[in-house]
A and B are shown apart, each in its own frame.
Chain A
Amino acid sequence: MNEKAIVFSLEATISLLALLVIVSITPVFEGEGMTELLLLQKENDLLKVWAKQGIPEKNKMIQDFLFVFPGQRGKIVVNEREIFIGEKKQGSNAIASKIIFFSRSLEKIEVVLIVFY
């Protein structure tokens, strides 16, 4: 055998091969799908219904929210008045939508709907 060649020990060969296998493992793409889009669409549904049928009182708003987003946490802001649904927790992802419309008495109403997920 050529004395000048590189000689791998058994351990080195195994390590290199193991490294090769680890590197060649393709990471599986686990996309989140369209969950965020669906949340956004549902937020828009709720805002549209409120705009068409009129902004209900606080408790009804919470009921409506939980009807559309059962078991989820969120926040509704109506003309800067905040309503929290579920416990306040830091570090969640959130999707927010805002609608501005005028009531029959031409009063400007601004509603922000935030869903945490």
Chain B
Amino acid sequence: MSITSRGAVLSIDAMFAILVLFAIMVVGFWQLGHSAEKQKHEIKRIQLENDAIFLADSLVKNFDLNALLGIAVFDVEKKRVKSNEIMEKRIAELQKNPLIFGSWLKEKNGTQKTFFSKNTGKKECIAIERLVMSEKRRALFGVVVCE
């Protein structure tokens, strides 16, 4: 670049370098925006996974009159909750929970009983299965949790 009485004159090399600089800056900012978007999506997915895991865990480990807080069996005689033993008849009550979009019990012989299944639309969802005992039978208790 040389300074003349008419102003700065760019050589082709300098002009080319400036164009490359702009191109690199554009790519750099695009990359930053893209990675920020990816990061946001990843954090959202992990948050959803956390919610689903803790929700399913709470359901099979707690007893409450409000089924949304736990559907485990309560042993009146021993005055304690029997974790991982659930009351099948209370599963349908879970559809009141706005985060839960579906629930089922899958047995070892392959039979699956779906209690409810709501339309998830375009929501991102995750399904979690936990081993439970229902009426003394082993089954996988599944819930679909959406954002």
| Partner-binding segment picked from A32-40, A77-85, A86-94 | A32-40
Q: Which residues 12-55 in B have Cβ within 8 Å of A in the complex?
A: 13-14, 16-17, 20-21, 24-25, 27-28, 31-32, 35-36, 38-39, 42-43, 45-46, 49-50, 53
**Alpha-carbon distance between A111 and B117 when the two chains are bound, in angstroms:** 37
Asked if A33 and B49 sit within 8 Å, CB to CB, the answer is yes
**Alpha-carbon distance between A7 and B45 when the two chains are bound, in angstroms:** 49
Asked if B31 and A42 sit within 8 Å, CB to CB, the answer is no
Asked if B39 and A48 sit within 8 Å, CB to CB, the answer is no
Asked if B24 and A21 sit within 8 Å, CB to CB, the answer is yes
Q: Does A99 contact B (CB under 8 A)?
A: no
Q: DSSP majority for the A interface?
A: helix
Asked if B46 and A45 sit within 8 Å, CB to CB, the answer is no
For the A-B complex, the count of residue pairs with Cβ-Cβ distances under 8 Å equals 89
A33-B49, A41-B57, A63-B108 given as contacts; is B21 within 8 A of A17 (CB)? yes
Asked if B49 and A34 sit within 8 Å, CB to CB, the answer is yes
Q: Which residues of B contact A14 (CB under 8 A)?
A: 17, 20, 24
Q: Which residues 14-53 in A have Cβ within 8 Å of B in the complex?
A: 14, 17-18, 20-21, 24-31, 33-34, 37-38, 41-42, 45-46, 48-49, 52-53
**Alpha-carbon distance between A53 and B1 when the two chains are bound, in angstroms:** 85
Given contact pairs A20-B28, A29-B42, enumerate 9 new A-B contacts (beta carbons under 8 Å).
Answer: A10-B13, A14-B24, A21-B25, A25-B28, A28-B39, A38-B128, A41-B57, A46-B131, A49-B132
Residues on B lying within 8 angstroms of A by beta carbon are 1-3, 13-14, 16-17, 20-21, 24-25, 27-28, 31-32, 35-36, 38-39, 42-43, 45-46, 49-50, 53, 57, 60, 83-85, 108, 128-133, 138, 140
